[in-house]
């Protein structure tokens, strides 16, 4: 217990031991282990969440590594979810991690239950499936997307992803590595606040970007529910 208190010392100072203990019983699924998935998983895996499931069927490619901070050059060709699992377990002894080297279609029939699902994909069709699955299971989820120097985040509870976004086969443009960290940080902060019972604005879309003068802006939109 002394090691637990010391490991989470700064968070316990932030919100107290009772809230830190709440996280021990929480279970989260992260769908996608790329840029967003790596950053969200590292943040949450070291925060005291009891159980994290990682879902991704892809392998590490050299062009991933500049923005996918969980991987090294020596990881090229290895399953992303397995490498990320190993990293989380090496960083914290207080988290249980399962890796699912499968696509979301296969994963959603495993009949697991979660307190929260986090989207870290780059695919609108999969996000649509996550929304449908989450509504069926009555599980909230946090959407995140990045492209170029901008990104979006939303904590979905009642609003429909399909009614807000045009589900197409759009392929993202190039991506600057720091914006991935920024959006993943926003997702992880919302997740932690929700899981320790701090207020979180639901069904509220954040669009963050750099304008033409290089000023970082965030626009906010309430979604219909």
Domain ranges, ordered by start, for the chain: 2-222
Angle at which helix 35-45 crosses helix 80-91, to 10 degrees, equals 20
Position 117 scores a pLDDT of 98
Q: Print burial letters for 175-207: b (CB count within 10 Å at least 16), e (below 16).
A: bbeebbbbbbebbbebbbebbbeeebebbbbbe
Class of domain 2-222: alpha beta
pLDDT digits 0-9 by tens, 190-218: 999 999 999 999 999 999 999 999 999 99
Biggest alpha carbon–alpha carbon distance for the chain: 51
Total residues found in the chain within this entry: 225
Q: Which residues of the chain have pLDDT under 70?
A: 1-2, 167-172
Identify the DSSP state of 131. H
Q: What is the pTM of this model?
A: 0.95
pLDDT of the residue at 111: 79
**62, 16 Cβ separation under 8 angstroms:** no
pLDDT of residue 181: 96
């Amino acid at each position: 217990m002394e090691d637990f208190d010391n490991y989470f010392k700064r968070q316990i100072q932030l919100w107290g031991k009772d809230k830190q203990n709440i996280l021990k019983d929480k279970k989260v699924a992260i769908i996608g282990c790329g840029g967003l998935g790596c950053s969200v998983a590292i943040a949450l895996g070291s925060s005291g969440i009891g159980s994290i499931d990682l879902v991704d069927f892809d392998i590490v490619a050299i062009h991933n590594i500049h923005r996918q901070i969980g991987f090294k050059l020596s990881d090229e060709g290895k399953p992303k979810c397995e490498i990320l699992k190993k990293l989380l377990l090496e960083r914290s002894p207080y988290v249980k991690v399962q890796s699912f080297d499968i696509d979301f279609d296969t994963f959603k029939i495993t009949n697991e239950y979660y307190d929260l699902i986090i989207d870290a994909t780059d695919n609108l069709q999969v996000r649509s499936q996550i929304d449908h699955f989450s509504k069926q299971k009555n599980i909230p989820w946090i959407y995140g997307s990045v492209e170029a120097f901008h990104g979006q985040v939303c904590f979905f509870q009642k609003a429909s992803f399909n009614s807000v976004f045009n589900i197409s086969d759009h392929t993202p443009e190039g991506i600057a590595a720091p914006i991935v960290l920024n959006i993943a940080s926003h997702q992880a902060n919302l997740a932690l606040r929700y899981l320790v019972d701090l207020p979180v604005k639901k069904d509220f879309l954040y669009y963050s970007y750099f304008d033409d003068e290089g000023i970082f802006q965030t626009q906010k939109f309430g979604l219909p529910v």
